[in-house]
Amino acid sequence: MSNKLALAALAIAAVAGGAWWTTRGAEPYPALSMAAVAQEAVTDEQLAMVPDMVIGQADAPVTIIEYASFTCPHCKNFHDTVFEQLKADYIDTGKVRFVYREVYFDRYGLWAGMIARCGGEMRYFGITDMIYDTQKDWIGDGEPATVAENLRKIGLKAGLSKDQIEVCLNDQTMAEAMVATYQKNATEHGVNGTPSFVIEGTTYSNMSYEEMKKILDEKLAN
């Protein structure tokens, strides 16, 4: 996905004029001014609300940060064709610490992130797998009500309760913190498309497993 960061902010802000959340029956979720969020600096409190999601040993010699959007087809392709091999060869063997950071180019990606985080750190990557594996299915016809309902179904399948899901989807404070944290981190690392990878401080664009393996092996050899 070649969306620029500035365009991402505009895309999110564009939905702030009306009921930002999808409707459920006649009752809309609370409106959220994403334009205001994009213009404000993230606070320490917000950063604490949105911890990095990490797998791999804390003392692994190499750290990869992936920036990805749940609605990005290229991110799904990385998940389907690269991630499992990366996990088996480098993460599970203690060579790489892997950090996943969500990018919100659209409201649906944000909703998906809220569902993924609703399960806490223990369930996060399992829910993430489900979101990517069924990307076309939960996006469906692209209508807000369809997307929201399909994401609820993913949450239920992951073991969340209906009440948990509704609380998470209505958490305006958390949504604001997620967007503000994303803006800060992506700006800091110069992320302008997804997926992007920060490997030991250097930002890279989307790549194949072979390309990533070459970079990792060079880093590990030093």
pLDDT single digits (tens) 58-105: 999 999 999 999 999 999 999 999 999 999 999 999 999 999 999 998
CATH topology assigned to domain 5-18+27-217: Glutaredoxin (3.40.30)
Q: Is pTM, for the whole model, over 0.75? A: yes
pLDDT beyond 70 at 214: yes
pLDDT value at residue 100: 98
Segment 20-30, tens digit of pLDDT:
343 333 233 33
pLDDT value at residue 14: 34
CB distance 135 to 71 below 8 Å: yes
Mean pLDDT for the stretch of residues 201-218: 97
Where are the chain's structural domains? 5-18+27-217
Segment 174-196, tens digit of pLDDT:
999 999 999 999 999 999 899 99
Lowest average pLDDT, out of 37-46, 111-120, 138-147, goes to 37-46
